[in-house]
Amino acid sequence: MVAVAAVGDLHVEAGAGPRLRPLFQRAANDADVLLLAGDLTDRGRLAQAEAVCEVFGGLDLPVVAVLGNHDHDHDEQTRITEMLTDVGVTVLDGSVATVVAAGTTIGIAGGKGFAGGFAGRSAEIFGENEMKAFARHGQRTAELLGTAINSLDTEWRIALTHYAPVPDTLDGEPLELYPFLGNHHLAAAIDSSAVPVTLAVHGHAHYGRECGVTPGGTLVRNVAAPVIAAPYAVYRLSADPGTTAVRLL
């Protein structure tokens, strides 16, 4: 059995490392890989990133992350990525990671994604240059995710983003916020995979709900910490769609 642990939106503050580290120290007993779905830091400050490194550096399982919008807030995302990489966390940005575990391979395609909204109510490349740039950036991040997904040649395929690919998992958030919480182009990218993606994991929607599905049938899980109400959720990956993404913890 393959088990994937995931959490997002920890919004770690400076100095929080010693308090949080014990919550993740046993993750290797529960799962084959730990996914971090962005907003690792509260405001993208380097002291906060130091604390994230203290929590996730040197765990006994692979840790694969994407950054969130909060991690970009002080324009230190490149340095934060370097710091995480230095302690062994793989940070994806329109790229892939492969984990060998339990005699199989798990491919993870990830990127932060971006805002833009959902079909019929989304930003379009039209009008003011600022609006065009906003819409174009959302489409571009989704294209990069799609290219990454289609480059995977692994038994299991996971899409990891911060922004949501579907509105299902935003249920509970104010409707006015939906355009800033996700982008339907991300779902199109996930559904573009020649071999179906097993599971799509995202964060960002603190008041959303856990379970959703893309138009193409890919199972989606919002693992924002307030939503999963646990240090991390653990999902089973199974060849049987009926038992894939069943939550084990």
Q: Minimum Å distance from CB 147 to Fe ion?
A: 23
Q: How far apart are alpha carbons 71 and 218 in whole angstroms? A: 27
**In terms of CB distance, is 68 or 146 closer to Fe ion?**
68
Tokens matching residue 160:
């990891």
Expressed in angstroms, the distance from the first to the final Cα of the chain is 14
What are the residues whose beta carbons fall under 8 Å from the beta carbon of 123, sequence distance 6 or more? Answer: 115, 116, 117, 131, 134, 135, 138, 179
Q: Which is nearer to Fe ion, 69 or 169 (CB)?
A: 69
Distance of alpha carbon 249 from alpha carbon 234, whole angstroms: 5
Give least dist CB 224 to Fe ion, A.
Answer: 6
Nearer to Fe ion, 24 or 156 (CB): 24
Kindly state the smallest distance separating residue 127's Cβ from Fe ion, in Å: 26
Among residues 69 and 222, whose Cβ is nearest to Fe ion? 69
In the bound complex, what is the minimum distance in angstroms from residue 32's beta carbon to Fe ion? 25
Q: Rounded to whole angstroms, how far apart are CA atoms 9 and 13?
A: 12
Least distance to Fe ion from the beta carbon of 56, Å? Answer: 17
- Cα separation of 188 and 216, whole Å? 8
Binding positions for Fe ion, rule: CB under 5 A: 9, 39, 68-69, 204
Judged by beta carbon, residue 39 or residue 210, the one nearer Fe ion is 39
Please report how close the Cβ of residue 177 comes to Fe ion at its closest, in angstroms. Answer: 11
**CA 120 and chain centroid, separation:** 24
> Going by C-beta distance under 8 Å and a sequence separation of 6 or more, which residues neighbour residue 203?
7, 8, 9, 37, 38, 39, 68, 162, 222, 223, 224
- C-beta closer to Fe ion: residue 218 or 222: 222
